[in-house]
Amino acid sequence: MQLPREVIVGNGAIERIAEVSRRLGFIKSALIIAGSRTNDVAGKRVREILEKEGMTVNTFLVEGATVNDVQRVEERIRDLKPQVVYGVGGGTKIDVAKCSSAKKEIPFISVPTTASHDGIASPLSSIKGFEKPYSVMAQAPLAIIADTNVIMKAPWRFAISGYEDVVAKFTAVKDWKLAHAEKNEYYGGYAASLALMSAKHVMQNVQLMTENNEEALRVLLEALISCGVSMSIAGSSRPCSGSEHLFSHALEMIKPNCAMHGERCGVGTIMMAYLHGADWKRIRDALRRLGAPTSARELGVDSDDVLKALDIAASVRPERFTILNKLSLNREAYEHLATVTQVI
Ligand SMILES: [Zn+2]
């Protein structure tokens, strides 16, 4: 298990970056990976603080999370030989920093500027251009520095998406249990409990989730980080990614860049909860309350896209056994599922 050694969540957390770096033994050099916007929001400040400590700091801006971006960062790491890589950003920048640092075998510190998914703390990274449309193992962040003051500046929709990525653990854990029962797959009860507890915790705090509420953001960040840790403990994304994520990946393949990761997973969770015989209405009502999408129309896709995604979801990742494999439904049954849950 690779676990983060320091996790700092709160207002002004970024100001403690020098102290954390020192404690972890990084006093000479660092490479910051950021996007142009996230560099303005936080990257420049990180650099300023580390330089004040006498460290040699370089910044490399990336715009996407493709194999090419990862390779370019790997080259920078090879040339500059930094002690540590800081990933400053939302999804893509952290993915690139995580993947490239893992390949070059140097540590990585996560400095999220949004709370939109659990990749900010997980050992997996999602890179476009590899053969798989889902996340692959890279390395866990050695530290996570989540400044709520910075994250608050991101659109509220990002936080809602993160919330949905946590709620998705309800069905992910059910799928994992099912795979254990039916296929004798390894099942880690502790990792599963941790992911499930995070989902329950955010559901219990749904009334907190209002824009500009720092406490809500802290609850959400703690849940996202716990989910990341659960994947580190499990050694895979199993506790956090089941049939609802397969639906999300499938929908993204059909309509690239439609909605956000968490939003697609949220709608997937409603439908997969129905298939599991769980209280899908409770999940849907919580998402509605947040103003999160709960239908095809709200995701910006049409009914046919949803049905196609349901059709191919199980084949996106054939080795991942879920309720979709167990039931092996036909188009008609999927239409019934999407209609009953009011997704279409
Ligand atoms: Zn996810």
Q: Are 96 and 108 within 8 A, CB to CB?
A: no
Residue 14: its pLDDT value, please?
A: 97
How far apart (Å, rounded) are the C-alpha atoms in residues 155 and 337?
32
How far apart (Å, rounded) are the C-alpha atoms in residues 110 and 283?
30
From ligand 1's centre to the CA of 274, what distance in Å? 19
Residue 15: its pLDDT value, please?
A: 97
From ligand 1's centre to the CA of 165, what distance in Å? 5
From ligand 1's centre to the CA of 2, what distance in Å? 19
Residue 62: its pLDDT value, please?
A: 94
- Residue 83 corresponds to which tokens in the numbers above? 């002690």
From ligand 1's centre to the CA of 52, what distance in Å? 36
For ligand 1, an ion, list residues with CB under 5 A: 165
Residue 134: its pLDDT value, please?
A: 72
From ligand 1's centre to the CA of 237, what distance in Å? 9
From ligand 1's centre to the CA of 26, what distance in Å? 31
From ligand 1's centre to the CA of 262, what distance in Å? 6
Q: Are 247 and 261 within 8 A, CB to CB?
A: no
Entry pTM: 0.95
Torsion sign across C-alpha atoms 154, 250, 300, 268: negative
From ligand 1's centre to the CA of 212, what distance in Å? 23
Q: Are 169 and 283 within 8 A, CB to CB?
A: no
From ligand 1's centre to the CA of 156, what distance in Å? 18
pLDDT per residue rounded down to tens, the chain (344 residues): 889 999 999 999 999 999 999 999 999 999 999 999 999 999 999 999 999 999 999 999 998 888 899 999 999 999 999 999 999 998 889 999 999 999 999 999 999 999 999 999 999 988 877 666 677 889 999 999 999 999 999 999 999 999 999 999 999 999 999 999 999 999 999 999 999 999 999 999 999 999 989 999 999 999 999 999 999 999 999 999 999 999 999 999 999 988 999 999 999 999 999 999 999 999 999 999 999 999 999 999 999 999 999 999 999 999 999 999 999 999 999 999 999 999 99
From ligand 1's centre to the CA of 57, what distance in Å? 31
